Amino acid sequence: MDSPASNQDYVEDLVKKARAASVRLATLPTLVKDQALLAMAEGLLAKSEEILSANERDLETFGTRREQEAMADRLRLTPERIAEMADGIREIVKLPDPVGETIKLWTRPNGMKVGRVRVPIGVIGIIYESRPNVTADSAALCLKSGNACILRGGSEAIHSNTAIAAALAEAAEKAGVPPGGISFIERSDREVVLALLKQDRDVDLIIPRGGESLMQTVTEQSMIPVIKHDKGICHVYVDADADPAMAERICLNAKVQRPSTCNAMETLLVHQTVARTWLPELVRKLSEAKVDVRGCPKTCQLSPEAKPASPEDYGREFLALILAVKVVKSMEEAMEHIARYGSRHTEAIVTNDYARALRFLREVDASAVMVNASTRLNDGYQFGLGAEIGISTTRIHARGPMGLEELTCSKFIVLGSGQIRE
């Protein structure tokens, strides 16, 4: 009887297969990739029963502690949620294939033509702690962009993810995707992740999506380039010249529409000249929407519903119906607060002043800087990029929503007629 492979051997075997698959995936015709995606969507539906019963096992292990109800809800799969995953994959079929696109082609004085062509990155490792639908989304986006993917989900969803990944990989292979093109790490040992992060010869990129401890591990241990999907400490600054009704609509949306996301507002900054007239009514409406408002002394003085904020409430990612509020003397003070406490994810100003709008856009540093729009709009679909693998907070390669194009890199091509270097 064979003894099980060590975690090191297990990972090395996985990445070697992924590398081999990536070479074939790089030139796989769009038609084959699209047919495989459709087969993957079908495969998920066909394997619904297995996936739901695997999910049942995860939910049992997870337990029913009251404080974790929200997390259990994120983990829970239903026939409807599986159908949504399948629909998500079908949406990716409709997006244009980025691979092979000539981004630019120009002619040099010596007559040679130089161009840039989009090519897949190669092998991408995705380490996540999110809903099981990330397994399907990531596999589909990587396949369409010609990359092999190695997926590692959270241990709490290990059975669900294993069942989903098996359904996807089986359908993909039958439709012509090379074996190893979509692989899932079925072992939940931390050692496996550490071993994966050292495979810099065979893995080209690591995308971590999750909490602080995952980010820290990846930052410290990875020998592979990393594009982080890190936390969002997003601000809305309501300027002296803001339209009051618009400011209210944007603030309510940014906080309440889906507070658990990285692009939800965590701190509201309000210019002192509008605080007295505008803030009390907003705080009342936020409270009605069950938001726990934690304000600076001025805010609390103006709004009976607000409780005093502690210093730690600024710069904190609540991911919940909690909001820190601060009245500021000027846009400069607001921008300094953002530079000090923000996480450079999404920052918005509400103003009708032209010069201040342009200055905010120019000087504030974040993956998306907005004028008169809700921070919740920093999203691949909303921006028109199509499906996204997440929102990058890394400053190189891709910043902000990462769609199919951001899952590719480029190579130079040269069409010569005998040119040499003089």
Name which of residues 187 to 206 contact its own copies (CB under 8 A).
Answer: 200, 204-205
Residue from the set 55, 138, 162, 367 that interacts with its own copies by CB under 8 A:
367
Structural tokens at position 176: 């012509």
Which of the ranges 75-83, 174-182, 223-231, 279-287 carries the binding residues for its own copies, by CB under 8 A? 223-231
Structural tokens at position 417: 């007629």
Which of the ranges 28-36, 73-81, 297-305, 413-421 carries the binding residues for its own copies, by CB under 8 A? 413-421
Q: Any contact of residue 362 with its own copies (CB under 8 A)?
A: yes
- Between residues 295 and 400, which has the closer beta carbon with respect to its own copies? 400
Residue from the set 82, 250, 302, 323 that interacts with its own copies by CB under 8 A:
250
- Let me know: does 145 contact 120? Beta carbons within 8 Å: yes
Q: Any contact of residue 121 with its own copies (CB under 8 A)?
A: yes
Which of the ranges 41-49, 137-145, 219-227, 296-304 carries the binding residues for its own copies, by CB under 8 A? 219-227
The DSSP secondary-structure symbol of 197 reads T
Residue from the set 66, 290, 340, 411 that interacts with its own copies by CB under 8 A:
411
- Between residues 271 and 298, which has the closer beta carbon with respect to its own copies? 271
Name the nearest CA neighbour of 397 among 387, 410, 386: 410
- DSSP per position, 284-352: HHHHHTT-EEEE-HHHHHH-TTPEEPPGGGTT----SSEEEEEEESSHHHHHHHHHHH--SSEEEEE--
Least separation in angstroms between CB 60 and its own copies: 35
Site for its own copies in 377-396 (CB under 8 A): 377-379, 382-384, 394-396
Calculate ∠ Cα 188-157-42, nearest 5°. 115
Least separation in angstroms between CB 415 and its own copies: 6
Site for its own copies in 46-105 (CB under 8 A): 100
Give the phi and the psi of residue 329 in degrees, each rounded to 5: -80, -25
Distance CA 81, CA 79 (A): 6
Which of the ranges 32-40, 189-197, 215-223, 278-286 carries the binding residues for its own copies, by CB under 8 A? 215-223
Q: Any contact of residue 376 with its own copies (CB under 8 A)?
A: yes
Contacts of 264 (CB under 8 A, 6+ apart): 232, 234, 254, 255, 257, 258, 319, 375, 376
- Between residues 6 and 219, which has the closer beta carbon with respect to its own copies? 219
Site for its own copies in 18-37 (CB under 8 A): 23, 26-27
Burial level of 367, CB count in 10 A (0-12/13-18/19+)? buried
Distances (CA, A) of 422 to 110, 203, 274: 10, 38, 67
Site string for its own copies, 165-184 (x = CB under 8 A): --------------------
- Between residues 171 and 373, which has the closer beta carbon with respect to its own copies? 373
Contacts of 362 (CB under 8 A, 6+ apart): none
Name the nearest CA neighbour of 348 among 333, 370, 365, 322: 370
Q: Any contact of residue 108 with its own copies (CB under 8 A)?
A: yes
